[in-house]
Chains A and B, each alone.
Chain A
Amino acid sequence: MIIAIAWRNVWRHRLRSMVVMLAAALGIFGTLFMIALSNGVVEQKIADSIHNEISHIQIHKPEFLQDNVLQHAMQDAPEISNVAQGIPGIKGVSSRIKTMAMASTASNGAGVIINGIDPETEKLVTGIAGSVIDGTYFEGESRSPQILISRKLAGNLKAKTGSRIVITIQNTDGELIYSLFRVAGIYKTANALFDEPNVFVRRSDLAELTGFDPALSTEIALLLHRTEDTDKTVAMLEEIYPGLSILPWYVIEPTLNMQSGMMDQFSYFLLVIILAAMAFGIVNTMLMSILERTRELGMLMAVGMNKKKVFIMIMLETIFLSGVGALVGIAMSYLTITLTSRNGINFAAWADGFESLGYSALIYPTIYASFYFWLAVLVMITAMFASVFPARKALKLNPAAAIRHEA
């Protein structure tokens, strides 16, 4: 019956309780949605980086990481590709000839990272083929070798599809050579910082231009089916090729992991603020409720309700008050996050700003299911702590005086 009394007491001042519950619900909804949105931004960034830029794992000669020149090619690249393709969990393998170059048009010039790729195998590893917004992805033949450049670079070079671009590059002997490429397509990923320097050409064209052995590579990129398998696969490859540098995505791009960690900390901080605000609101409401019920509490203690039961009753009221608010907030968050995560929220109006920082303007809010559970647990714990002060206040009442208290 104590549970029934506590529950009904919550609804004695329906409007007041509902205002407190609504405040808790909105606070929790706002917090959860903000966290889901932040998670979405970071996870999207990680996914975009992995699928468009760095892949899950990259293999190089250690020297290549110090100096990106063609001389640091992996001699056993074909074997590594074959072995990697046989490892379970690996979705795609792309062997690249990657080095630095200079791209110039009649109007302008820019330093670029030139990626010599096999267009078909690259499709299995990165989403560049799907990011082409103008022209084609290495389709058909042309008299000049084809090049794929980003919209950002095209703007800088004042180039468009069909334009000619001169690529100046060091050959395998270290001599500077140049060649004419024709822009086959213009691509655009969500990360302008990646787009600006990266250009893509056929590896056969680049090998021919530079005198590079077409069977070799300077970089092998691996895409996995599951990001969670990254460490396991890296360990496996390190065992087979101890002399090579085999790097997981978070080492290649350490800021990704850092952002994820920062976002976690931000979430916890936000959560603590909201729970503290909720606790103060609830303490205030419960104190008011206890003041109003002084005579009733005095009567309960006079007729024989012991302190433990009075304490439990007040704690239950506090838990109900915050619990209902939390449940409504969690339900609102769950529905909103589930609905918006299907199609994402498009911040198209601020797309340029997002992309210049390397983020996608289309955000898919996401949150771990366990987060809802732990939040509910935290709300309960907060409610328990919040009930201590009002309950102590009630227990200090002198029944004889409380019974005669004028409301």
Chain B
Amino acid sequence: MGIIITKDLRKIYSETKVPVYALNGVSVTIEEGEFTSIVGPSGSGKTTLLNMIGGLDNPTEGEVHINGVNVTTLPSGKLIDFRLHHIGFVFQSYNLIPVLTARENVEFIMQLQGVPKKERAARAIELLESVGLSDKIDNRPGDMSGGQQQRVSVARALASKPRFILADEPTANLDSKSTAELLDIMLKMNEKHKTTFIFSTHDQRVMERARRIITIEDGVVAKDEF
């Protein structure tokens, strides 16, 4: 049984006279340990699908089951808690907290989870070392390159020991070298710790490294290739 199952997901925006079907019946199952890309042209619905899986948006119809829990029925407070303990996020614009150092950014998630201080400090350093940033531990985001910030973002996503990591166009703002480095790190995590990664992307470099590619077009799954 997959760790993520979406059942006939539909998202309809009715603000305009003509309703817009951002998703129109998407059913996918993602197994533990997958390294999956959700691809498609702009406006195809890939970010909407990622938001539904991440519990950031509610579908108009359908269900999202994560680890057997129907997250679409969870009340707001429980959903926030669910995200904190089960899902890691990597964003296109890194979205680190600019007033915290790399280590503090990684620790922050663990503090929200209630991890004791010593434990979270040690884990934050270990994670930053694993993404190749042992010399940037006390740097703030403003003192790091885009690639380095995105690596901190990956370390932060891993800090909460999530069941899977959702990465929304993680390489969109990176150059080739940084993209390659980031993908190497994520693949290493995937292989070593069986961490599940799901990307939304239209970056060819990411697609080439993905083991599964789900193509979304006009709100439906057009292709699902392993």
A8 touches B95 (CB 8 A): no
A-B pair number, CB within 8 angstroms: 67
Structural contact, A305 and B112, CB atoms closer than 8 A: yes
Q: Contacting chain A: which of B12-20, B75-83, B144-152, B202-210? A: B75-83
Contacts of B89 in A (CB 8 A): 299, 302-303
* B80 with A304: CB separation less than 8 A: yes
Q: 1/0 contact trace for B70-95 toward A, CB 8 Å?
A: 00000011001101110001010101
Tell me if B187 is interfacial: C-beta within 8 Å of chain A. Answer: no
Contact call A400/B80, Cβ cutoff below 8 A: no
Segment of B51-59, B125-133, B190-198, B213-221 in the binding face? B51-59
- CB pair A304 B56 closer than 8 Å: no
- Indicate if the CB atoms of B109 and A302 lie closer than 8 Å: no
* Residue among B51, B80, B97 making CB contact with A307, cutoff 8 Å: B80
* Bound: A12/B99 CA distance, A: 7
B112 contacts A304, C-beta separation under 8 Å: yes
CB interface residues, A 285-316, toward B, < 8 Å:
295-296, 298-307, 309
CB of B113 to closest CB in A, whole Å: 8
Are B97 and A5 in contact, with the CB atoms below 8 A? yes
Q: Is the CB of B104 within 8 A of A303?
A: no
**With A and B bound together, what is the CA distance between A300 and B109 in angstroms?**
9
The CA of A304 and the CA of B56, in the complex, are separated in Å by 11
Q: Is the CB of A400 within 8 A of B56?
A: yes
Question: Is B111's CB within 8 Å of the partner chain A?
Answer: yes
A 305-349 to B, binary, CB cutoff 8 A, 1 in contact else 0: 111010000000000000000000000000000000000000000
Kindly state the separation between the CA atoms of A303 and B155 in the bound complex, as whole angstroms: 13
Task: Evaluate contact between A5 and B99: CB separation under 8 angstroms.
Answer: yes
A304 touches B99 (CB 8 A): no
Contact residues in A for B91 (Cβ distance below 8 Å) = 299, 403
Q: Which of A8, A302, A306, A398 is within 8 Å of B81, CB to CB?
A: A306
The 8 closest A-B pairs by CB, nearest first: A304-B84, A8-B99, A299-B95, A400-B56, A400-B51, A400-B57, A304-B83, A306-B80
A residues apposed to B, CB below 8 Å: 1, 4-5, 8-9, 11-12, 295-296, 298-307, 309, 398-400, 403
Known: A306-B80, A398-B57. 14 other contacts (CB 8 A): A1-B100, A1-B108, A4-B100, A8-B100, A296-B97, A296-B98, A299-B89, A303-B112, A303-B156, A304-B85, A305-B112, A307-B76, A399-B56, A400-B57
Ordered by A's residue number, 22 sampled pairs between the chains whose C-beta atoms are within 8 Å are: A1-B104, A1-B111, A5-B100, A298-B95, A301-B80, A302-B54, A303-B112, A303-B156, A304-B80, A304-B84, A304-B113, A305-B80, A305-B84, A305-B112, A307-B76, A307-B77, A307-B80, A400-B51, A403-B56, A403-B91, A403-B95, A403-B168
